[in-house]
Chains A and B, each alone.
Chain A
Amino acid sequence: MDSPAVEIIGLVKRYGGTTAVDGLSMRAARGAVTAVLGPNGAGKTSTVEICEGFREADEGTVRVLGLPPATPALRPRVGVMLQSGGVPPATRCGEWLRLVSRFYARPLDVDALLVRLGLAAHARTPYRRLSGGQQQRLSLAAAVVGRPELVFLDEPTAGLDPQARHACWDLVTDLRAAGVAVLLTTHHMDEAERLADHVVIIDGGRVVAEGSPAALTGAERQLRFRARPGLALEELLNALPSGSAAKESPAGHYIVEGLVGPELLATVTAWCAAEGVTADDLRIERRTLEDVFLELTGRELR
């Protein structure tokens, strides 16, 4: 039990001329939820599929529960949810889960699992007639039905409606409470912030930041308020202690960063009074994971 759930050192994966994963190193602890965050094309799926044993690493070392990923003995111990597909379109929802459960020695109760994920009413529906969210939940159910020690979830909540997302989050929370290690990839910052013990942000096939959500967002806080757009911030900046920053983003939304405390708050409200504006929605908050993510990976679309 000493080895981590997943350990990746210097992983490189190339497809033809493009390098999808470029010297990535990370760990996922046992019994914890690790979220891999990154923009599209960051190398998330390649990394996860190498851990799942579907693809071979070009360079580097990957150990899953202490073993090379393709080891047959890992199959009963590791649950897998693919990003999409994996189920024959004509197969009924309940039949597929029952079939997968028969490959394991001590599977979960199939009917109870269907109820738990809101699929009981669709047990006889062919996979192709399920909604996208129902298909995702079936794949999630199939990943956990064998009572694994470690579960890989590749974008588990992509395309889910809010209720289904919460059902998925609750299941991940319960898996963690039961001692199952979960490694999930996601685009959703709130998902990572809410579920993960450890967040790994990757971009361009490398780790750009990692830590607990709290450590990543930092102790640094922000003061935010709304007011009419186009206020001149120079005077405010002059009044604030050095090292502070103030910006308008987007129009009419103001953010002041620095040593956020009573003094800074007083300075800002005094400036507002001098400018003759009323600050709406004035609040002090931590940076969100989304702020960190966009700072690290850039705002431009790609």
Chain B
Amino acid sequence: MTTPDTAALDLTPAPGAAPFPRMVLAQAGAEVRATLRNGEQLLLTLVIPVLLLAGFTLAPLIDVGGGSRVAFLAPGVLALAVMSTAFTGQAIATGFERRYGVLKRLGATPLSRAGLMLAKTAAVLAVELIQVVVVVAVGLALGWRPHGSFAAAALLIVLGTAAFSGLGLLMAGTLRAEATLAAANLVYLVLLGAGGVMFPLSKLPESVRPALEVLPISALTGGLRTVLSGGALPLGALGVLAAWAVLCLGLASRTFRWE
């Protein structure tokens, strides 16, 4: 039995905010831990992408339109991984944080809203880094030999992250948490099917293709496929992602309700 060391508790006021970078790092670390500890999130961010990549590389169930199966699938799965973290995972987590009053409570601490958003972005990028390492490792093991500009790939991923984060926060800040959960999963499935991730858009009817090509997932998938097979940075894909990012982040910042 130990006696509480109350002498260590000096309650005399000594207010002060921690330095901004320390606050952001603390919050980002907490968000990364929460993601990695959440089973459903891990399923979405790591297990499903890896299974899709390995499964469809090894089993010739889908027609990738000729060429190496893994070279087609790996960039698509990378794009899927980015979407699962920046959009689906972030939308659901933020929606429930709003519902549980976590955003409200954090608003009463010295961590500003800008600081919170920065922390969320840092956490998303950190989780994406883990995803990229795992997906690339699995791809290499399956015989993928990417060649081209990795800086261009990183640029596409960052822009894609901004676009998907904007879309996710737009949902999380306006819909009820349950509606966000349902909608985020539905959008994930639709974009997985219609965004050229698992099979080329050229397999789809000519009439719907222009609409599908301006989806953020199609732009990210197509862009990554091009730059990771030696092609030049496609400005069209870059433009599509930038437009989504500006539109969604702008709308989200205007409509986000913290409570």
Contact = CB atoms under 8 A, between A and B. Distances in A.
A144 interface: yes
A77 interface: yes
A54 B104 contact: yes
A11 B210 CA distance: 56
B119 to A, nearest CB: 11
Interface stretch (B23-31, B123-131, B155-163, B181-189): B23-31
A255 interface: no
Given A88-B34, A95-B30, A106-B16, A72 B112 contact: yes
Interface string B92-123: 00001100111011011111100000000000
Contacts of A148: 13, 15
Please indicate which of the listed interface residues A77, A105, A180 has the most CB atoms of chain B within 10 Å of its own CB.
A105
B235 interface: no
Interface in A157-214: 174-175, 177-180
Contact of B100 (A76, A87, A112, A115): A87
B38 A85 contact: no
Given A99-B26, A103-B23, A77 B105 contact: no
B211 interface: no
A179 B34 CA distance: 37
Contacts of A282: none
Given A86-B100, A103-B111, A76 B13 contact: no
Nearest to A85: B101
Contacts of B26: 99, 102-103
Contacts of B206: none
B11 A78 contact: no
B11 A89 contact: no
A103 B100 contact: no
Contacts of A115: 2, 4-5
A113 B15 contact: no
B23 A112 contact: no
A84 B101 contact: yes
A86 B9 contact: no
B11 A147 contact: yes
Contacts of A112: 4-6, 8-9
Given A88-B102, A104-B110, A109 B8 contact: yes
A256 interface: no
B37 interface: yes
Interface string A113-135: 10110000000000000000000
A221 interface: no
A90 interface: yes
A102 B104 contact: no
A103 B18 contact: yes
A116 B15 contact: no
Contacts of A109: 8-9
Interface in B1-54: 2, 4-6, 8-18, 22-23, 26-27, 30, 33-34, 37-38
Interface string B133-152: 00000000000000000000
B13 A180 contact: yes
- Most chain B CB inside 10 Å of its own CB: which residue of A103, A105, A149, A177: A103
B63 interface: no
A191 to B, nearest CB: 19
Contacts of B259: 54
Nearest to A55: B259
A85 B100 contact: yes
Contacts of B9: 108-109, 112-113, 116, 174
Contact of B13 (A85, A105, A113, A179): A179
27 contacts: A53-B107, A54-B108, A75-B110, A82-B101, A86-B102, A91-B30, A95-B30, A99-B26, A99-B27, A99-B30, A102-B26, A104-B15, A104-B110, A105-B15, A105-B16, A106-B16, A109-B9, A113-B9, A116-B4, A146-B110, A147-B14, A148-B13, A174-B11, A178-B11, A178-B13, A179-B12, A180-B13
Considering the complex of A and B, which 6 residue pairs feature the smallest CB-CB distances, nearest first?
A: A105-B16, A86-B105, A102-B26, A85-B101, A178-B11, A112-B8
Interface of A: 52-54, 72, 75-78, 80, 82, 84-91, 95, 99-100, 102-106, 108-109, 112-113, 115-116, 142, 144, 146-149, 174-175, 177-180
